[in-house]
Amino acid sequence: MHALSLQMLDALAALLLLLSFAMLSQRRIVTLVNLLALQGGVLCAATLLLAWRTHEGHLYLSAALTLALKVIVLPRLLHRLIHRLDVYWDTEPMLNIAGTMLVGLVIVVFAFGLAQPITALASTATRSAIGIAVAVVLLAFLTMITRRKAMSQVVGFLSMENGLFFGAMSATYGMPMIVELGVALDVLVAMLVLGVFFFQIREQFDNLDLHNFESLREDK
């Protein structure tokens, strides 16, 4: 049973990576948020499976927190912002989709090489997934820097947080609960602040394209 659960964890880790690639190639912001919610669901399932395998009680609380915040609350907030701001599509990214995916593949190879020393030091049964966690973080960062719309960049930031959480879970069977609660509260507050920030940008520039800030800087 333990071998089967480890194989299932590896499959969920691979699915997490595939979802990161899907987010990297997606221009429709509504679909991007749905992929983020699906990524949160996969993360929740992986946390539950690891909790069952290791009998770590705090991981069940982590899974419940992930389900509530990353699968339900944050996607609903983002969908509401998308509807109110009428922002459904990102503009043409800085790199075309083919170029972005090629860079993503290079990043995955780099991430696995970068994670090798950490994997060698970790003693957990899930240490093989650390490379995938690093790749998810770097792909989310690539999503952020290749998008023009602020909403897409926020989704990339939240995906990066998912990768960090998965990495902590793979390396040490999760962070202390007080740290996870603090991070969850910080993310929720950040989303509320960003919501207000988006409305201010929309009122000032009539859209959420961050290149407006470049033109503002040039005017100065």
Confidence of residue 218 (pLDDT cuts 50, 70, 90): very low
Q: How far apart are CA 140 and CA 142, in angstroms?
A: 5
Question: Cα(42)–Cα(131) distance, rounded to whole angstroms?
Answer: 17
CA distance 216 to 175: 41
Burial annotation 83-103 (CB, 10 A radius, 16+ → b, else e)? eebebeebeebeeeeeebeee
Q: Are 208 and 149 in contact (CB under 8 A)?
A: yes
Tens digit of pLDDT for each residue in 150-184?
Answer: 778 888 888 888 888 888 888 776 555 545 555 66
What's 93's DSSP letter? -
- Higher per-residue pLDDT: 213 or 133: 133
